[in-house]
Amino acid sequence: MQNNLALNETYFSFCCTIPAELVELWNWFCFEKGALGTETLQESSLESRLKIFYPKKPDGGAQKLFECFQSELNAKLEIIIHEEGSHPVENWQANWREHFHPVKVGQSLIILPSWKTEIELSGRHPVWIDPGQGFGTGHHQTTYMMLQHILDLELEGASVLDMGCGIRCVAPCV
C-alpha cells in the first residue's frame, strides 16, 4: 500500500527510546505496520531515541504498536514513549527558504542564495549558492572548509578554474 501525505492534511508521529540492540528490528516492525519513515534523534551504545512517522494514527497509537511488538518478540521490553500526536503537513520545499541563514567564511566571504539580495555584505564578498535537492545550502562543513582553504591560498593575480563545484564567486579572488 502506498501512502500519500499530499492527500492528507496531517501526519502522526511519536518519539520513543529503545535499547540499541533492538533499533533495527523496531524500525523494521514500524515499517511493516505502515510507517513512512524514522529519524534517529539521539543514540548511544545503550539506547536510541527515535521519531517514527505515520500517515495517520495507527489503531491504539504508539502504545498499541509497542505492545504488539512485545507480543511478537514474546519478551518484556524497555521502550519508553515520550510523545505522540498529529501534526499539519507542510510544504517544506516551499517553506524552507525562510529559515535559510547566510554563512560567513573567514573575514571576507559570505555564502548566500540568489534570493538574498537585500542583505548587508559588510565588506564581505558574496559566494552565491542556489540550494536545491541536488546541491546543498553552503552550510555543510566541506563547503565551509573548502572556502576557508581557498582564503588561505595566495591567489592574488592568479587565474582560477572552477571545476563544476556549483559555486559562483561574484568578486575577484581576494
Distance CA 79, CA 118 (A): 49
pLDDT in tens, 67-118: 999 999 888 888 889 888 988 887 766 666 776 778 888 888 888 887 877 8
pLDDT in tens, 10-21: 899 999 999 999
User: Could you give the angle at which helices 61-73 and 23-32 cross, rounded to 10 degrees?
Assistant: 120
DSSP letter at 99 equals: G
pLDDT for the residue 1: 36
Question: Is-contact 151 124, C-beta < 8 A?
Answer: no
Summary mean pLDDT of the chain: 81
Phi, psi of 80 (to 5 degrees): -105, 125
Give the amino acid at 67: E
* The model scores a pTM over 0.95: no
Question: Is-contact 11 54, C-beta < 8 A?
Answer: yes
Pairing state between β 125-128 and 109-112 = parallel
Locate the domains of the chain by residue range.
5-89, 97-169
**CB-based contacts of 58: which residues, under 8 Å, 6+ apart?**
12, 33, 34, 64, 65
Question: Is-contact 40 48, C-beta < 8 A?
Answer: yes
Positive or negative, the CA dihedral 21, 25, 28, 33 is negative
Starting from the edge strand earliest in sequence, which strands make up the sheet with 80-88, in order? 37-43, 47-54, 10-19, 80-88
pLDDT in tens, 134-163: 556 667 777 778 888 888 888 788 877 666
At the second CATH level, the architecture of 5-89 is: 2-Layer Sandwich (3.30)
Q: Count CB atoms within 10 A of the CB of residue 123.
A: 8
Distance CA 87, CA 89 (A): 6
